[in-house]
Amino acid sequence: MECVIETLASNVKFGRGATREVGQDCKNLKAKKVCVMTDKKLSKMSPVQITVESIRKQNINYKVYDRVRVEPTDESFKEAIDFAKKEGFDCFVAVGGGSVIDTCKAANLYSSNPDAKLLDYVNVPIGKGLPVTHTLRPLIAVTTTSGTGSESSGTAVFDYLPMKAKTGIANRALCPTLGIVDPDHLITLPERVAAYSGIDVLCNAIESYTAIPFQKRGPRPEDPILRPTYQGSNPISDISCLYALKIAAKYLKRAVYNADDFEAREKMHLASLFAGIGFGNAGCHLCHGMSYPISGLVRDYREEGYDEAEPLIPHGLSVIVSAPAVFQFTAPSCPERHLEAAEAIGADVSRARKEDAGKVLRDTLLKILRDIEIPDGLNALGYTTEDVPALVKGAMPQHRLIKLSPRPVNEDDMAGLFEKSMKIY
């Protein structure tokens, strides 16, 4: 039986203006040549400008890489890795949302061990899931969204184009040396980005809180380096998740519709950070596993605020559409935890019965989703029931995630979950 958890923790700096200190942080890390990684859109905006200015002030050599793809792929990862290999950086600074930070983690991981192949560290079964035994360069992650929690997790997610499937690398070694959560960057977050990154926070936290307990994930690995980063729910991630849920439920709507409601946007940043600490140690399960083919098989869906040339289903949206069906499915396996999660996001559970846990959590969640105008299920994203077999095929191999479901799931269950998610209201 597994009876040990290993919590991952990056140091995190939180507060307005923390980005202005990045140059000094680099200096204190003894950096001589820094890679500043970002995306095209952000490269012209203040978070990157402030970062670069602070590095310049310390007379530290740096180069900006702004070709990160939103929702990265193996190809966009490789391009960033090649750039890092060629330049030989001794420090990385990622400025952006999950896509930027994840790409930077990959660039750091592979450029510091140039002989490794991309699939070596990618999660099983798509990759080999090898342990990381080499030392990475310091990585400072300046987050500009409040959803992924990537600044405090060891996870890097990408689309693996040869299989049209999302997968990722989940390893403690990838955890940033320092995460910077500077609420100043949230003031410019477009409404829909605030909405979709906010619901990602909710899902990260509910899934982690309802994931199988770490003791049941066993057996204990022979070497602690083989212990998965996603370990199942545990007392340390539990308190982070419940706190994230309480905060997110309270401030999400305000944060979405009032870009200048600084308090609400700051609180969502905190919620995102705590959910990141939660899922970074416990792991998500079905909603995230199912989201991978949902975003991977996108046809022509586009969202305002995400000005990519190609169709794109934002990560948080791809995750949340299955949540109502998923939590009804998983509730019978641990109804208490589903009720506790429901209570954290605002339900009155004083008279709720265990057998109602799934319904209570679903209804409470749906109220929040309606409040911030989340599209009505997979249909609204361009899918029909005819797509279910392909979606199931893309979700089942996400072992790292779906094996953390508190209720085991087979192909029929999965098909049922996708079908029930066609319309959610």
Instruction: List the one residue from 57, 61, 225, 370 that touches its own copies (CB under 8 A).
Output: 225
* Both structure tokens of 149: 């929690």
Backbone angles phi, psi at 138, to 5 degrees: -60, 140
Binding status of residue 274 toward its own copies by CB under 8 A: yes
Q: Which stretch binds its own copies (CB under 8 A): 9-17, 45-53, 253-261, 323-331?
A: 9-17
Q: What is the dihedral of CA 286, 290, 292, 294, to 10 degrees?
A: -150
Q: Which stretch binds its own copies (CB under 8 A): 79-87, 95-103, 232-240, 341-349?
A: 232-240
CA separation (Å) from 255 to 19, 32, 69, 345? 21, 39, 26, 16
CA separation (Å) from 418 to 27, 368, 415? 50, 21, 5
Instruction: List the one residue from 59, 133, 350, 384 that touches its own copies (CB under 8 A).
Output: 133
Q: How far is the CB of 271 from its own copies (least distance, A)?
A: 10
**What is the rounded distance in angstroms from the CA atom of residue 329 to the CA atom of residue 258?**
35
Helix (H, G, I), strand (E, B) or coil at 232: coil
Q: Which is nearer to its own copies, 4 or 161 (CB)?
A: 4
* Both structure tokens of 141: 């992650």
Q: Which stretch binds its own copies (CB under 8 A): 77-85, 100-108, 218-226, 339-347?
A: 218-226
Binding status of residue 212 toward its own copies by CB under 8 A: no
CA separation (Å) from 118 to 78, 81, 330? 8, 10, 34
Helix (H, G, I), strand (E, B) or coil at 213: strand
CB atoms within 10 A of CB 263: 12
**What is the rounded distance in angstroms from the CA atom of residue 127 to the CA atom of residue 118?**
8
Q: Which is nearer to its own copies, 25 or 79 (CB)?
A: 25
Its sign, for the CA torsion 143, 145, 151, 155, is negative
CB atoms within 10 A of CB 336: 11
Q: Which stretch binds its own copies (CB under 8 A): 24-32, 193-201, 253-261, 337-345?
A: 24-32
Instruction: List the one residue from 59, 86, 219, 223 that touches its own copies (CB under 8 A).
Output: 223
CB atoms within 10 A of CB 226: 11
Binding status of residue 24 toward its own copies by CB under 8 A: yes
Q: Which stretch binds its own copies (CB under 8 A): 74-82, 234-242, 344-352, 359-367?
A: 234-242
Q: Which is nearer to its own copies, 44 or 220 (CB)?
A: 220
Q: Which stretch binds its own copies (CB under 8 A): 22-30, 334-342, 350-358, 399-407?
A: 22-30
Q: Which stretch binds its own copies (CB under 8 A): 106-114, 236-244, 286-294, 396-404?
A: 236-244
Name the residue with tokens 């991630």. Answer: 237
CB atoms within 10 A of CB 79: 18
Instruction: List the one residue from 117, 239, 367, 373 that touches its own copies (CB under 8 A).
Output: 239
Instruction: List the one residue from 5, 122, 189, 401 that touches its own copies (CB under 8 A).
Output: 5
Binding status of residue 270 toward its own copies by CB under 8 A: yes
**What is the rounded distance in angstroms from the CA atom of residue 170 to the CA atom of residue 157?**
8
Backbone angles phi, psi at 346, to 5 degrees: 115, 0
Q: How far is the CB of 163 from its own copies (least distance, A)?
A: 31
Q: Which is nearer to its own copies, 182 or 303 (CB)?
A: 182
Helix (H, G, I), strand (E, B) or coil at 10: coil
Q: Which is nearer to its own copies, 10 or 322 (CB)?
A: 10
* Both structure tokens of 226: 């083989």
Q: Which is nearer to its own copies, 102 or 182 (CB)?
A: 182
Instruction: List the one residue from 110, 160, 243, 251 that touches its own copies (CB under 8 A).
Output: 243
Q: What angle do CA 302, 303, 305 make, to 5 degrees?
A: 135
Q: How far is the CB of 416 from its own copies (least distance, A)?
A: 36
Binding status of residue 9 toward its own copies by CB under 8 A: yes
Binding status of residue 10 toward its own copies by CB under 8 A: yes
Binding status of residue 16 toward its own copies by CB under 8 A: yes
Q: How far is the CB of 16 from its own copies (least distance, A)?
A: 5
Q: How far is the CB of 268 from its own copies (least distance, A)?
A: 12
On the CB side of 73, how many CA atoms lie within 13 Å of its CA? 12
Region 140-199 residues binding its own copies, contact defined as CB under 8 A: 172
CA separation (Å) from 416 to 322, 364, 411? 11, 22, 9
Q: Which residues bind its own copies (CB under 8 A)?
A: 3-18, 21, 24-25, 28, 133, 172, 220, 223-225, 234-236, 239-240, 243, 270, 274
